[in-house]
């Protein structure tokens, strides 16, 4: 940054305070309790998740777990 930021004491207008909706650092640090299972999935499904996981640089098993978690949360 070559230019310095100049702050001014101008009115901000109408301000709206919103409630804190972010999880606490303690909640972010906790890992979900997991259970190891053995499951047979179709080759097509596993290839899809592996391909998508590679795009987002994340483990494909984690993507499958999150999908199942979202499904069960809405049932």
Q: What pLDDT, in 10s, does the model give residues 5-44? A: 888 888 888 888 888 887 777 777 767 788 999 999 999 9
- What pLDDT score was predicted for residue 23? 75
- What pLDDT score was predicted for residue 49? 94
Q: What is the pTM of this model?
A: 0.58
Instruction: Name 52's Cβ contacts closer than 8 Å, sequence gap at least 6.
Output: 60, 63
- What pLDDT score was predicted for residue 30? 66
HSE-CB at 45 with a 13 A cutoff on CA atoms is 8
Domain boundaries, given as residue ranges, for the chain: 43-75
């Amino acid at each position: 940054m070559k230019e310095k930021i100049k702050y001014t004491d101008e009115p901000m207008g109408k301000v709206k305070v919103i409630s804190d909706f972010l999880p606490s650092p303690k909640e972010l640090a906790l890992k979900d309790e997991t259970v190891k299972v053995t499951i047979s999935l179709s080759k097509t499904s596993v290839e899809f998740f592996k391909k998508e996981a590679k795009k987002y640089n994340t483990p494909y098993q984690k993507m499958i777990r999150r999908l199942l978690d979202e499904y069960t949360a809405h049932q």
